[in-house]
């Protein structure tokens, strides 16, 4: 039996995009592949953690050896996270849709011949990271959020850490020119209370292994 530093620990990971229905055949989505969250779940598993992996409809397959909870919408993701708690740590790597369609119907929207497109009314989704961070009961000892930014990465991510109330933020530059979104590499900055660490550009697997080691150190 291999024993790692996270043996006996339970870590929750959210990953992938969410899909928000417009009608039974259409949805709003984003370009998250789930690659980074999947790599993080695998790295935590490799250090001995029991991992609950709450994933939206990702394009990469989930890792083996973790408990996979597949969801579609932000609200389903929130419910699955609630079910999976308590945990020692939570890593929220999902690209949760900020809004859902308020008037999503049970019937396919059809062209009505008037030439007028339908109007989609939107409602804000629950912020799962902020909610978990603010729990008084069952709050994981360590809550890690992500911040996908296209400009002023450190400044925006530092503000996000404060706003969400999480312990760490993993900030990444997702400007299209970086090729990070959907790619195999990532360039991240780890923002904690005690300072900022800029990591060199490396594979998402290596980012995951480093982050898992930092989590193990923090929980030790
Ligand atoms: O607000 P923003 O989407 O930029 O924040 C990103 C971080 O917040 C990520 O860790 C993401 O998983 C989390 N998040 C969440 N629920 C939301 C929106 C974002 O958990 N509704």
Taking CA atoms only, the protein residue closest to ligand 1 atom 8 is: 129
- Please identify, by atom number, the ligand 1 atom nearest to the C-alpha of residue 74: 21
Flag whether 204 is marked binding. Answer: no
Ligand 1 centroid distance, CA of 149 (Å): 12
The dihedral built from the CA positions of residue 212, 170, 36 and 122, taken in this order, carries a sign that is positive
- Please identify, by atom number, the ligand 1 atom nearest to the C-alpha of residue 170: 10
Per-residue model confidence as pLDDT tens digits over 108-126:
999 999 999 999 999 999 9
pLDDT of residue 175: 84
- Please identify, by atom number, the ligand 1 atom nearest to the C-alpha of residue 125: 21
pLDDT of residue 182: 75
Per-residue model confidence as pLDDT tens digits over 35-70:
999 999 999 999 999 999 999 999 999 999 999 999
pLDDT of residue 1: 62
Rounded CA-CA distance 158/163 in Å is: 9
In this prediction the ipTM stands at 0.96
For the chain (220 residues), the mean pLDDT of every run of 10, in chain order, is: 89 98 96 94 98 98 98 98 98 98 93 92 98 97 95 95 98 85 87 95 96 98
Ligand 1 centroid distance, CA of 145 (Å): 7
Taking CA atoms only, the protein residue closest to ligand 1 atom 17 is: 127
Edge-to-edge strands of the sheet including 67-70?
67-70, 50-55, 10-15, 89-92, 142-149, 168-173, 188-192, 195-198
What are the tokens at 210? 């480093």
Ligand 1 centroid distance, CA of 177 (Å): 22
Listed in sequence order, the residues at least 6 apart from 128 whose beta carbon sits closer than 8 Å to its beta carbon are: 14, 74, 77, 78, 81, 92, 94, 96
pLDDT of residue 2: 64
């Amino acid at each position: 039996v291999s024993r790692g530093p996270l043996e006996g620990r339970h870590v929750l990971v959210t990953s992938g995009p969410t899909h928000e229905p417009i009608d039974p055949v259409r949805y709003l989505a984003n370009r998250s592949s789930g690659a980074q969250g999947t790599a993080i779940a695998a790295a935590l598993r490799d250090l001995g953690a029991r991992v609950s992996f709450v994933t939206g409809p990702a394009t990469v397959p989930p890792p083996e050896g973790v408990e996979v909870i597949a969801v579609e919408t932000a609200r389903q993701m929130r419910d699955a996270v609630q079910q999976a708690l308590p945990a020692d740590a939570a890593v929220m790597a999902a690209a949760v849709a900020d809004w859902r369609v308020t008037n999503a119907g049970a019937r396919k929207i059809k062209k009505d011949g008037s030439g007028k497109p339908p109007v989609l009314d939107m409602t804000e989704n629950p912020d799962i990271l902020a909610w978990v961070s603010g729990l008084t009961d069952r709050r994981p000892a360590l809550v890690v959020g992500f911040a996908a930014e296209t400009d002023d990465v450190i400044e925006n991510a530092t503000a996000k850490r404060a706003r969400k109330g999480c312990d760490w933020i993993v900030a990444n530059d997702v400007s299209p020119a970086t090729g990070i979104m959907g790619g195999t590499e990532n360039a991240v900055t780890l923002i904690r209370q005690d300072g900022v660490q800029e990591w060199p550009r490396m594979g998402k697997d290596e980012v995951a292994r480093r982050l898992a080691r930092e989590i193990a150190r923090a929980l030790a």
